[in-house]
Amino acid sequence: TPGCNTIAQLASFLGIPTARTLKMVFYSVEGRVTCVAIRGDRSVDEAKLARVLGTSRYYPSLEEELTRIGAVGGYASPIGLDRSRVRIVADPSVRAARNLVGGANRPDYHVRNLNVPRDFQPGEWADLALVEAGDPCPRCASPLAIEPAFALASHSLPAPCRPAAEFLDQAGRSQPLWQSSWQLDLGRLWAAVVEQHHDEHGILWPPACAPLDVHLVGLDLKKEAVAARAEELYARLQAQGYAVLYDDRDASAGVKFNDADLIGLPLRLTISKRWEQDGLTEARWRNEADRLKLDDEGLARELARLREGNGGA
């Protein structure tokens, strides 16, 4: 198999699917080599690998490290490796595969009809394959689908404390302290909420995670009575524990309402010159089209819905 030092080249040269080949991938941690045996059409999941190795500080094995264990890069085989110097971990994808084509640990040569356990026995088995669309779910066996997602948090694997620290165990022996950490990205968390809760006009914040509770829109504020009512309602809502965005800008109703939809707070309350006529407050839930005309009792009822999380998106 001259010049076939990749899975794609090998499969093309022999006219076989990549699933009929055996891929050997080598990683090192502080000079200790681990060999991953996996079916040729699959890739190694780095997160799974880090769990198996117990660290994320691994690197692709160097040529001199491969030479030390008896492997030839591009033509590596699990057969003939110095097992005292290498850890061989196999993915389950090779367990059921039959008559695979794998390396011969000799440049430009491969071996046909490799089978487990007849031809080689891994030191251990571990799920290391990167998940692909159509793979069976490990719980229900239904085919998996790959969808875009947000990485909201990250977890560092346990590692010795830096600077080093120790403690005495129950037997009085000195043991190293280990540490790990979680990081939650609040910016990504909010972005994920917006991705799931929006329409063509803007955001629809769920009450549970909205940055503010109420968007109070004041119209016709040049009228003293209207302005006084808006200020009184603003102060009352704050006194009751609601976080309020008060829009008292000198702008048109259309501009203010469009901005309110764009910002997307759960409940919009509007005070305008109509309040002088009927004494009612206009309310609109961001996720509902209807505009409600409320007296003080009705307003209290809608605010209770907001507090209970029963309104909004």
pLDDT at 174: 87
Beta-carbon contacts of 280 under 8 Å, excluding residues fewer than 6 positions away, are 274, 293, 294, 295
**CATH number of the domain at 7-125, please?**
3.90.960.10
Which pLDDT band holds residue 312 (cuts at 50, 70, 90)? low
pLDDT of residue 100: 97
pLDDT of residue 311: 63
What's the pLDDT score for residue 182?
85
CB 140 within 8 A of CB 128: no
Task: Tell which residue, 262, 311, 310, 259, has the closest CA to residue 290.
Answer: 311
- pLDDT higher for 188 or 39? 39
| Whole-number pLDDT of residue 135 | 93
- Tell me the average pLDDT across 143-151: 88
pLDDT recorded at residue 150: 81
pLDDT digits (tens, 9 = 90+) for 102-122: 999 999 999 999 999 999 999
pLDDT of residue 157: 66
Tell me the pLDDT tens digit for each residue of 149-171. Answer: 888 888 776 666 667 788 898 99
The CATH class given to the 203-308 domain equals: alpha beta
The yes-or-no verdict on residue 271 having pLDDT over 70 is yes
Strand duo 100-103 + 153-160: pairing:
unpaired
Average pLDDT of 191-200? 94
Q: What is the DSSP track for 40-104? A: TT--B-HHHHHHHHT-S--EEPPHHHHHHHT--TTS--STT--TTTEEEEE-GGGTS--SEEEE-
| pLDDT, greater one: 155 or 261 | 261
Which residues fall within 8 angstroms of residue 197, CB to CB, at 6 or more apart? Answer: 203, 204, 205, 206, 264, 313
Q: Which pTM does this prediction carry?
A: 0.56
Domain boundaries, the chain: 7-125, 153-186, 203-308
Checking if the pLDDT of 58 tops 70, the result is yes
The mean per-residue pLDDT over the stretch 279-297 comes to: 95
pLDDT at 66 exceeding the cut of 60: yes
In a 10 Å sphere around its CB, with 0-12 CB exposed, 13-18 middle and 19+ buried, how is residue 110 labelled? Answer: buried
Short-list 36, 145, 170, CA closest to 90 = 36
Greater confidence (134 vs 162) lies with 134
Query: What pLDDT score was predicted for residue 147?
Result: 87
Average pLDDT over residues 178-182: 82
What is the overall mean pLDDT for the chain?
93
pLDDT at 183 over 60: yes
